[in-house]
Structure 1
Amino acid sequence: MEKVKFSKMFLVCLLAGLLSAAVVRRLLARFAAGWLPMTVIWGIALLCFFGCLEYAFLWRRRERKGKGNSAVTLSFFHGMLLYLLAFDFASFGWHKIFHLQMAVPLGVLDLPFNSLDGETLTWAYFRRSYPFMVAIALSQMSSAWMLMFSRTRLLGLIIMIPVLINILLIDIFYQLHTGVILHALILFACVVYLLMQSYTSLVDYFFKTVHLVALPDTTKKTKLWLRAVVVLLPLIVLATYRFPDWHPQLTGKYRVADLRVNGVPVKASSVKDSVLTAVYMDWQDDLVLEFNHYNSRYIGTYHFNRDTDSMYVNWRYPRNFKAKFAGTFRSAGKPGAYQFSGMLADDQVEMRLDKVPEP
């Protein structure tokens, strides 16, 4: 009888427990939360986890006593991982098709872009194109269905790797909640484990097999030069390019403080007040003045003289707006803070601009 190391027993049972718990919890939380308390749902999920974990020790005891068939038991757990993976991936695909994923309240969609948190921003982006959502769903569902057949099983697992890496990177860098990240990590660990069962074949195919697509016969030195060109030429081209951030020390969003118009302090007291509240200095020397609402803006191109700390703006929006905006633009004595003193139309304007960190 073929024996299995306890480390492998424990690992496959651990993965089966984690995956079954994650799938059961997600399924019950979505479809049974109306009549099952969350404590019960978590209890069922934990029962799945600890049940699988406990079986690793039972399996070991049975093998020591010469009972059971370890090869059959291992195959059972491999099958359990495959079918749970297929079910979970297919479920995610159907949820996307029926708008149960990537849902954002309609009222939130009209909020300013920068006011959205990472998770809402992610869902809002993906839900924008339903055909794209369906394409993602089909990639998940097709890879899931491939796991059901022995001839396509390995291909299905390979397809799942980039899908899961992409999901994990989005979950981590757009700061989705911890539960989502853990679920994706469990799926990824299970896929990697199953792929490792074909480790030798994968290494032979990807790293030892000489494929038909190859470079023409060239010398070793020529190949090295070609590789160096591919690596270095894009950087050399970039070195000759004039980047659009012409004044990086000024680029940013600024909150207006201590605003004085003709010597009189001015401050917005309600959302209806048309008072200058924000200034944006952007790439290609774009400048935006915002008057208490993102729909109330002047947009133009600023010209800054470092020697005299002077600035003036040529407006292009609104189309017929030609008011003068010019004056001195100096550091206010601390990083990210500037003092402006000059004219806006016929008014004398003084203000402090405090840079706002990007979200």
Structure 2
Amino acid sequence: MRIAIDAMGGDHAPDVVVAGALEAVREWKDITVILIGDAARIEPLIRQAGDQPSNLEVIHASEVIEADDEPVKAVRRKKDASMVVAGRMIQEKKADAMISAGNTGALMTTGLLIVGRIEGIDRPALTLTIPSMDGKGMVALDMGANMDASAEQLVQYAIMGSIYRKKVHGVVKPRVGLLNVGTEPMKGNELTKAAYPLLEQAPIHFIGNVESRDLLYGPCDVLVCDGFAGNIMLKSLEGAAATIFAALKIEFTRNLATKAAAAVLRPGITKFKRQLDYSEYGAAPLLGINGLVLKSHGSSNALAIKNAIRQARLSIENELLASIVKEINHLSK
């Protein structure tokens, strides 16, 4: 298994990318990780950590796609950017998966222009595992790859998300829900009303509409929505979690009594915070691309990078891409 990583993508690259990659290759000997980026910055970080493992490679790339670059122009003009080089490795079958914590739009463009779409898929979907109180998490798509979607595209998202949940997370019969403003079948806008009967007929275990207030309780295994609603939902959840923990910190440091209470409650709060930590889940795959392309959070730490590699490894091992292609081809006939 060969996993290419855009070592220059992300807020803390290449340091955390190298650290996460080193942890991964030392734990899993059946993978080879290829770090792509500025070798003059990457190689000293590897040397500082000790001897370079035999299953870790470095490929020099002279350019970087920055966070504020216009995606299409950057991918077309920066031919030797670390992200673009990783995409070509997927397209040329020199790597089985690629990971980047860099510019999301540019990664989407790399997937579309360089790797290409699966035949029969209209638009790829950014697929994120949202933490839940039961610890199982919930796969949600689309989280912002496309701002608009048709009812038919929501069905494609549901099928791909269901296969992903089975292959990567081992859920035998994933429950698929449709994000909506109410649970009744005819609730919502024109898109969700049109998608509901199509989802009922799709080869998935569709359980109906799901309201956003219930998401952290894990009402379904796969949540389907258009990218506009999905991205708003995601950022609302992230903002709410950050606000809650900031407020708790203020209250628990207010005086000696609250500090004493914090000491007692710390194990439970730490467990709760870990349940809502994106780094435990690693990366968001772009499902619908004809190759395994995974997006890590821009502020990923070494643990998140390692978990992204773990996720890529599981996806390769369980033939995620081949399973999606097979199902989509079957439906197209």
**What range describes the TM-score normalised by the shorter chain of this pair?**
under 0.3
TM-score with structure 2 setting the length: 0.21
TM-score with structure 1 setting the length: 0.20
